[in-house]
A and B are shown apart, each in its own frame.
Chain A
Amino acid sequence: GEQVEQLPSILRVQEGSSASINCTYENSASNYFPWYKQEPGENPKLIIDIRSNMERKQTQGLIVLLDKKAKRFSLHITDTQPGDSAMYFCAASEANSAGNKLTFGIGTRVLVRP
């Protein structure tokens, strides 16, 4: 199986600064790592993902890094805005998972102060 640890659980940042969330995984067979954003009372929405053939991916103020040797991946939100306040979940999926099972981290609550 897979286990994903996510830190920190709460992240308070000043508007305009950057926010970083770190996740580690255990199963070296995992090769797909999505990040989801969930606002209160809403469904989780994919914001960015990275596959194991990449080390870095960037889109619209989001950067994800993947270190396969360390089994670690991270999300960096640059120039945070109040709209970035939400729960963020990392996840990992195993290459040999027949059912596309995603194992999620426990989530990080990001609070952006104006």
Chain B
Amino acid sequence: DPKIIQKPKYLVAVTGSEKILICEQYLGHNAMYWYRQSAKKPLEFMFSYSYQKLMDNQTASSRFQPQSSKKNHLDLQITALKPDDSATYFCASSQDTSQNTLYFGAGTRLSVL
């Protein structure tokens, strides 16, 4: 029974379109994150949120915008999609941001054509 739910599992989009990746966690955690995993690259940190506040942003492009409507939600809006955005996007959470264990969701595999 997954405690971090990511939707959808697979997503195909056309170049220039906009998509929202959904993430909800039911672990009672206060911190949530987005990571990206592309082919032949390490898992790459994108954002961290704590109590719905942005703590760190390592994403150069403003096309990526996290949205936190509730403490256990951290969606990721991606606008003007490019083929280079194709990757698996993992949502993660931890009790707080003081270096506690990160738990990852199952990921959303995004393909941009």
Contacts and interface: CB of A to CB of B under 8 A. Distances in A.
A99 interface: yes
**For the complex, would chain A's binding face be called helix, strand, loop or mixed by DSSP majority?**
strand
Contacts of B18: none
B99 A32 contact: yes
A101 interface: yes
A70 to B, nearest CB: 21
Nearest to B90: A43
A104 B56 contact: no
A97 interface: yes
Interface string B79-110: 00000000000100010111111111111000
Interface in A81-97: 89, 91, 93, 95, 97
B48 interface: yes
A31 B100 CA distance: 12
Contact of A98 (B55, B103, B106): B55
A44 interface: yes
Interface residues of A, number: 28
Contact of B102 (A6, A34, A51, A106): A34
Interface residues of B, number: 28
A104 B106 contact: no
Most chain B CB atoms below 10 A, which of A34, A36, A104: A104
A100 B106 contact: no
Contacts of B48: 99-101
Contacts of A93: 99
B104 A106 contact: no
A101 B106 contact: no
A100 B101 contact: no
Interface of B: 31, 33, 40-45, 47-48, 50, 55-56, 58, 90, 94, 96-107
23 contacts: A4-B42, A6-B42, A32-B99, A34-B101, A34-B102, A42-B106, A43-B90, A43-B106, A44-B104, A46-B102, A51-B99, A89-B43, A97-B56, A98-B55, A99-B33, A100-B31, A100-B48, A100-B56, A100-B102, A102-B45, A104-B42, A104-B44, A106-B42
